[in-house]
Structure 1
Amino acid sequence: MNYDAQSTATRSQQSVLQTNKLLRNTYSLLAMTLVFSGFTAGLSMMFNLPHPGLLITLVGYFGLLFLTAKLRNSVWGLASVFALTGFMGLTLGPIVNAYLGMPNGSEIVMQAMVGTGVIFFALSAYAIKSEKDFSFMGSFLMVGILVAFLAGLSAYFFSMPGLALAVSAMFVLLMAGLILYQTSEIIHGGETNYIMATVTLYVSIYNLFLSLMHLIGAFSGND
């Protein structure tokens, strides 16, 4: 009986250590990819590169995302992560430049950046400290993101600014939920690969920032 208790305690301790290691690796890689993405966005802004367009953005994003998932258990997965986040940084630069060219554009970008940081850290801290299981949100988030994505495409192709604004509001809520979900998955063992965990959190932050920037710009009368 004592042996069983000791064995259970050992397994529990190992599980905690593995979770802490996964969290540490995920947040370390996330920080590096955000810095690298910021660097490529800065280059794009400095050279005033044009936006590659929706088709190239989607092909590049989904192609690199598929490659990263394929290579997630090898060292090449790290290279793929940086390729993905660097590419997304390049697509972000022209968008930020467009906002900076608006009246009060720097304030819009800064408010979106601060808002993104506050939301991410608050939700991550809540998920870690509360240790609540948010796995039940998985199916809802998957369907919600698909619906929002298709609605966003409709808003783009049919030039519907009202729908585009609604999609941004949806993405703020969905990305907040995705941060809770992914952090919970790391804590409870639903996600054991730090590369894929990093990608999910990066995409959440990227979309959250874009959506907040759109909403703040719209409500300030500059979008």
Structure 2
Amino acid sequence: MNNHQGALQHSGVNEAEVSKLFRNTYSLLAITLAFSGLVAFISMSLNLPRPGIILMLAGFYGLLFLTTKLRNSGWGLVSTFAFTGFLGYTLGPVLNMYLGLPNGGALVAMALGMTAVVFFSLSAYAIITRKDFSFLSGFIMAGFVVLLCAVVASMFLQISGLSLAISAGFVLFSSAVILYQTSSIIHGGEENYIMATITLFVSIYNLFLSLLHLLGIFNQD
């Protein structure tokens, strides 16, 4: 009897911890998305140039590494905003390019709406069904390697349809990461809300850019 009560109490603590992790993660995610959007707007307003590949990689992986190292301290929040703000800056020139098209505003709005629908639908599915999507880890790792090789190849090779395939691949990859990360929070695979936030943020960022690119291609822009 005592063992049963202890198990219930332990389960209650776990549920409370999961609920707290969800609140912290999605609160920070909402704030960083708003902050990144503000930085993107400033970047667009100032018509800042698109960063080169070296700056992009250095900023992305450098700030990602810093955030990972500081994830258990208050400085982890500072590096999180630096990381998401940097991605917002890189988004500004891209949005300016699409908004310069005849139907650019509609494309951006459609990509944004589709991103929101995909993210909330996948998150809700993982939360409601409480399925364990840890089996996607192998697919995610393989997908990362394949997409990385494809992106590098696209820099040197002019292959028809490669850009389309990369964008479609990133849509599938980002969707899988959203399911995996949400499930990981539920089942105790992820216990740090900063890392959970960063993972979901990058997935949303890649999903939005990929959908925007696909819509541009389908509209022959």
Task: Please state which band the TM-score falls in when normalised by the shorter chain.
Answer: over 0.9
Measured in 1, the distance between the counterparts of 2:208 and 2:97 equals 15
Q: Does residue 19 in structure 1 map to residue 18 in structure 2?
A: yes
Given residue 30 of structure 2, which amino acid in structure 1 is its aligned partner? A
SS of residue paired to 1:133: coil
Equivalent residue, structure 2, for 1:133: 132
Equivalent residue, structure 2, for 1:120: 119
Per-residue CA shift, 1:203-223, capped at 9, x if unaligned? 00000000000000100111x
Measured in 1, the distance between the counterparts of 2:84 and 2:21 equals 20
Query: Deviation at 1:112?
Result: 0.4
Measured in 1, the distance between the counterparts of 2:75 and 2:158 equals 40
Given residue 117 of structure 1, which amino acid in structure 2 is its aligned partner? A
How large is the Cα RMSD of the aligned pairs?
0.9
Equivalent residue, structure 2, for 1:51: 50
Query: Deviation at 1:161?
Result: 5.3
After TM superposition, the structure 1 = structure 2 runs for residues 193-212 of structure 1, keeping only pairs within 5 Å, are 193-212=192-211
Equivalent residue, structure 2, for 1:61: 60
Taking a change above 3 Å as real, the CA distance of residues 161 and 205 of structure 1, as seen in their structure-2 partners, is farther
Given residue 2 of structure 2, which amino acid in structure 1 is its aligned partner? Y
Equivalent residue, structure 1, for 2:154: 155
SS of residue paired to 2:191: coil
Q: Does residue 145 in structure 1 map to residue 144 in structure 2?
A: yes
Measured in 2, the distance between the counterparts of 1:32 and 1:159 equals 39
Query: Deviation at 1:157?
Result: 3.2
SS of residue paired to 1:16: helix
Measured in 1, the distance between the counterparts of 2:170 and 2:156 equals 18
Query: So what's the TM-score if we normalise by structure 2?
Result: 0.98
Measured in 2, the distance between the counterparts of 1:153 and 1:32 equals 33
8 Å contact from structure 1 (residues 155, 161) kept in 2 = no
Long gaps (5+) in structure 1: none
SS of residue paired to 2:161: helix
> Would you identify which runs of 4 or more consecutive aligned residues in structure 1 move more than 4 Å?
none
8 Å contact from structure 1 (residues 148, 170) kept in 2 = yes
Query: So what's the TM-score if we normalise by structure 1?
Result: 0.97
Measured in 2, the distance between the counterparts of 1:36 and 1:66 equals 20
Of 11-20 and 158-167, deviating more is: 158-167
Given residue 208 of structure 1, which amino acid in structure 2 is its aligned partner? L
Given residue 18 of structure 2, which amino acid in structure 1 is its aligned partner? T
Long gaps (5+) in structure 2: none
Of 158-167 and 143-152, deviating more is: 158-167
Measured in 1, the distance between the counterparts of 2:155 and 2:212 equals 17
Of 45-54 and 158-167, deviating more is: 158-167
Query: Deviation at 1:156?
Result: 2.9
Measured in 2, the distance between the counterparts of 1:72 and 1:148 equals 27
Query: Deviation at 1:53?
Result: 1.3
After TM superposition, the structure 1 = structure 2 runs for residues 22-33 of structure 1, keeping only pairs within 5 Å, are 22-33=21-32
After TM superposition, the structure 1 = structure 2 runs for residues 60-99 of structure 1, keeping only pairs within 5 Å, are 60-99=59-98
